[in-house]
A and B are shown apart, each in its own frame.
Chain A
């Protein structure tokens, strides 16, 4: 089989990319490994999606449905239940109930999303009982499978998914005894702290972590301790919670294993490094969405997906794309995306600070912008006008405290 633009992943980024590529009049194929498109949106039945992109507040499935409808208006070959086994040059091997197939393409948009950091990666001592889940798994149990994960739960990590699950579990009758966060500040958005914890009187334990899990068969108890500045548990501060469920919201990791052997990764995000037009270190490989950097909002995921889709289509049509110049992280920058700048399109910077900063000056090229109340949990999104970037062969983003 042959196509012009192959989009891998049918979530918010992939659907955006497929639509934008189709608008350029090329042949587009979209591969989705699950039974239907929508990605993780399908299980996010809470609202808060779409304010930027659709200019109204939607639930996850509604947001996915809207994109799906637009997708249907174009002649796009959408293949679900199809798993990519390997990407080799511009050939992709897929597996599905229809067989093992090879697809040849002119360009690829890699939009595989992110996965949750698993419990094992945290190296928490103790037993290995059932009842320890990531937030996404709990969300899938409740919202898709109609099953409760347990009766009493503790949540580790105050990322947005963890906070949203604290509320969801409470609403469904599971007792949530608290949320534990090892940083001295919450990991999720301020609005989620308010709407998911404070409104339900769920305690948030900052500068704390789980030091032990106990239970031979099912989880029975979880020991939490305060941590010092180096995140080492402080002896004597242990507190035991009798719970049958531990929910982890320990962060998301971009899924890049299909490309990490041949494309450059963005060291600040762990994702596929791309330019502002979505192009990676390999000229025919474009990337978008959470497989490049973990975004705060799905709206940005779709917007950047569209951009990558458009330029992947232009590349497939043989258009010459401009040279890209590198963008490096400077002072106080923990996460930075994109990692190259191409004059072919405007530059939107997505960045996270490495620590809370009250007042700062963000500098890139000749551009400066004063920012206030920066938190690592909240992504800074800035459009940088092209005129400030002229004449540079290398750019750096720094966030200086003032």
Chain B
């Protein structure tokens, strides 16, 4: 069967991989220049423990399950998960009641080892917390990932198992004939389809409309973030949440995989037509600061590396919308994947294939005997023991040539990223962490561009920063 997955975010990528496990002929279509550059790229990167969501919802069912699945998945796909644990802090007895409520929910959802700590215990574990806190809900199973790592890994594994990836290609129509999906039409061509998976994130409602299928309206909710230098990592060990409100989990403090500390996000609802509004605002960034100071008063904002905004797909009914279309056979919606979508993603992929496709649609799944679940990531040599790194350099001197000084990324890693599909500066950055360090690419932009230009056989002026016409340099100064 021909399966077309629309959207190479974490959800689409993992579904595509799951489909190759059962021998589907899979095409993944993505409008951006790289994998995971929509909702996936700009969110908090947390593997939630799973106590937030109301029991009975798909979100609750898939979150705790997804959390547990990350263990095996990270080994198969060779990406990092750090089980930092998380705190939800309470400043008064009213908030304590909410923590108790969360524990109850967590237990119903199957979240292990939750407990409420008193002030002293919480402060001894996180000494930089506001000393005015009274309690903290501790969830040891919460963790952090780089979401794009997972999407890239899943696509690489899916393509190794036969899937095809089409980047920079935007779906413009879906052809339906006799009540069945036929073709996905893009700005570059057509893809025949027996099965269409709508994992188009913010644009999920528009894609469903193209097919004439059911959908829920989706609007973007903007989240603005601040990132602090990795020297700040000493001050934060766990993900720190305030007591949640009805609308959101609030402004968090997140120790990332590589030590930078992520602060945010805001939650600003935008009208549906603003799905590409990724700009930060003075109000938003100030709001983040204000709220963070309440959680951790001493975080040094003068160590800010950068600020950015992301959009999450919200819908009025709040729960994930994952079902087959009753109007169009072969069309499956996997939309409105709001928080905790990242955590749930591995479970969503399984649910789509085993529940929606096999059970609800009655498609018999046959295991692809040659499916190989293993993918190897790009080795960051600086993480290896010196002797091991040395052996690799002996075989390939480029593994000792440092391109990005801050994050110690070598030329060999950059070349490997290009071999795996990186075509832009951001493509290199998200795959290798080159240009993402303290100097924010000031020392290595030209070094990376030289390698890119050489490996791709193009002039520097043809290199883009990210999607679209985001050129970096103009023509030559002189011939």
Select which of B278, B393, B405, B443 is within 8 A of A128 by beta carbon: B278
Cβ contact within 8 Å between B470 and A217: yes
| Chain B, Cβ-Cβ closest to A97 | B397
Chain B nearest CB, measured from A34 CB (Å): 9
* Chain A residues within 8 Å of B473, by CB: 141, 145, 147-149
A106 to chain B, nearest CB (A): 22
> B478 to chain A: which residues have CB within 8 Å?
146
**Which stretch in B102-110, B326-334, B345-353, B457-465 binds the other chain?**
B457-465
Q: Is A115 an interface residue (CB 8 A)?
A: yes
**CB-defined contacts of A118 to chain B, threshold 8 Å:** 305-306, 439-442
Q: Which of chain B's residues have a CB closer than 8 A to the CB of A116?
A: 439, 442
Stretch at the interface among A129-137, A323-331, A333-341: A129-137
A-contact 0/1 string along B371-398, CB 8 Å cutoff:
0000000000010001101100110011
A95-B389, A118-B439, A147-B461 known; A130 vs B446 contact (CB < 8 Å): no
Assembled-state Cα–Cα distance A150/B461 (Å)? 10
Shortest B23–chain A CB gap in Å is: 39
Given contacts A127-B279, A146-B478, is CB(A100)–CB(B393) below 8 Å?
yes
Complex interface: chain B residues within 8 A of A126 (CB): 279-280
List which A82-138 residues lie within 8 A (CB) of chain B.
Answer: 83, 85, 93, 95-100, 102, 115-116, 118-121, 123, 125-131, 133-134, 136-137
Knowing A120-B227, A123-B285, A145-B446, the reply to whether A99 touches B393 (Cβ < 8 A) is: yes
Q: Which chain B residue has the least Cβ–Cβ distance from A141? A: B473
Q: Which of B285, B443, B461, B472 contacts A125 (CB 8 A)?
A: B285
Residue A386 is within 8 A (CB to CB) of chain B in the complex = no
A154 to B: closest C-beta gap in Å: 16
Task: Report the separation of the CA atoms of residues A115 and B406 in the bound assembly, to the nearest whole angstrom.
Answer: 11
Q: Does A140 contact B (CB under 8 A)?
A: yes
Q: Which residue on B lies nearest to A115, using beta carbons?
A: B439
Contact of A130 among B227, B440, B472 (CB under 8 A): B472
Task: Tell me whether B475 is interfacial, beta carbon within 8 Å.
Answer: yes
- A144 interface residue (CB < 8 Å to B): yes
Interface size class of B (residues with CB under 8 A): 35 or more
Contact A99 B460 (CB under 8 A): no
| Interface pair B282/A257, CB less than 8 Å apart | no
List A contacts of B302 (CB < 8 A): 121
| Contact A99 B400, CB 8 Å, known A119-B440, A147-B475 | yes
Give bound CA distance, A272 to B4, whole Å: 57
Which residues of the other chain, B, contact A127 by a CB distance below 8 angstroms? 278-279
Measured CA separation A257–B233 after assembly (Å): 14
Is the pair B278, A137 in contact by a Cβ cutoff of 8 Å?
A: no
From B284, B390, B442, B468, residue with most partner A Cβ within 10 Å:
B442
Q: Are A97 and B401 in contact, with the CB atoms below 8 A?
A: yes
Is A393 positioned at the interface, with any CB of B under 8 Å from its CB? Answer: no
Given B304, B387, B442, B468, which contacts A217 in the complex, CB threshold below 8 Å? B468
Report A142 CB to chain B, min CB distance, Å.
6
Q: How far is the CA of A115 from the CA of B306 in the complex (A)?
A: 16
CB within 8 Å of B: which of A211-231? 211, 214, 216-218
Asked if A366 CB lies within 8 Å of chain B CBs, one says: no
Known: A97-B401, A148-B473, A148-B474. A125 touches B282 (CB 8 A): yes
What band does the interface of chain A fall in when counting residues whose beta carbon is under 8 Å from B? Answer: 35 or more
Q: Report the minimum CB–CB distance from A27 to chain B (whole Å).
A: 23
Q: Are B471 and A172 in contact (CB-based, < 8 A)?
A: no
- Complex contacts, B226 vs chain A, CB 8 Å: 123
Flag whether B74 is at the interface (Cβ < 8 A): no
Residues of B within 8 Å of A121, CB to CB, are 302, 304-306, 440
**Whole-angstrom distance between the alpha carbons of A211 and B283 in the complex?**
12
A-side contacts of B394, CB under 8 Å: 99
Is B246 interfacial (CB 8 A cutoff)?
no
Q: B22 interface residue, CB < 8 Å from A? A: no
Q: Let me know if A97 and B393 touch, CB within 8 A.
A: yes
Q: In the complex, which residue of chain A has the Cβ closest to the Cβ of B227?
A: A120
Chain B residues near A145 (CB, 8 Å)?
A: 446, 449-450, 460, 473
A268 to B424, CA, bound (A): 39
A369 to B38, CA, bound (A): 61
CB of A260 within 8 A of chain B? yes
For residue B405, give the distance in angstroms from its CB to the closest CB of chain A. Answer: 6
Residues of B within 8 A of A130 (CB): 464-466, 470-472
B91 within 8 A of A: no
Contact indicator B278/A257 (Cβ below 8 Å): no
Assuming the contacts A95-B402, A115-B443, A147-B477, asked whether A218 and B471 have C-beta atoms less than 8 A apart, the reply is yes
Closest to A172 in B: B477
- Residue from the list A85, A93, A148, A218 in contact with B476, Cβ < 8 A: A148
B159 within 8 A of partner (CB): no
Residues of chain A lying within 8 A (CB to CB) of residue B440: 118-121
- Is B227 within 8 A of A100, CB to CB? no
Taking the closest CB of chain A, its distance from the CB of B384, in whole angstroms, is 9
Could you tell me the distance between the alpha carbons of A116 and B445 in the complex, rounded to whole angstroms? 13
B446→A33 contact, CB < 8 A: no
Shortest CB distance A43–B (Å)? 10
Q: Is B121 an interface residue (CB 8 A)?
A: no
Assembly CA distance A230 to B247 (angstroms): 35
Chain A residues, CB < 8 A from B405: 33, 83
In the assembled complex, B307 has its CB within 8 A of some CB on chain A: yes
**B276 & A216 in contact (Cβ 8 Å cutoff):** yes
A355 contacts B by Cβ under 8 Å: no
- As a 0/1 sequence over residues 137 to 179 of chain A, the CB contacts with chain B under 8 angstroms (1 = contact) are 1001110111111110000000000000000000010000000
A137 to B394, CA, bound (A): 32
Q: A130-B466, A147-B476, A148-B475 known; A260 and B280 CB under 8 Å?
A: no
CB-CB < 8 A to B387: which residues of A? Answer: 100
Residues in B neighbouring A260, C-beta threshold 8 A: 231
A130–B472 Cα gap in the complex (Å)?
6
Q: Can you list 14 A-B contacts (CB < 8 A)?
A: A33-B402, A83-B405, A96-B401, A97-B398, A98-B393, A121-B306, A125-B281, A125-B282, A126-B279, A126-B280, A129-B470, A149-B474, A217-B470, A257-B231
Known A98-B393, A128-B278; 9 more pairs at CB < 8 Å: A96-B401, A97-B398, A97-B401, A115-B443, A120-B227, A130-B471, A140-B446, A217-B468, A257-B231
- Shortest Cβ-Cβ A-B pairs, 6 listed: A120-B306, A118-B440, A130-B465, A97-B397, A217-B468, A147-B473
Residues of B within 8 A of A (CB): 226-227, 231, 276, 278-282, 284-285, 302, 304-308, 382, 386-387, 389-390, 393-394, 397-398, 400-402, 405-406, 408, 438-443, 445-446, 449-450, 460-461, 464-478
Chain A residues with CB under 8 Å of chain B are 33, 81, 83, 85, 93, 95-100, 102, 115-116, 118-121, 123, 125-131, 133-134, 136-137, 140-142, 144-151, 172, 211, 214, 216-218, 257, 260
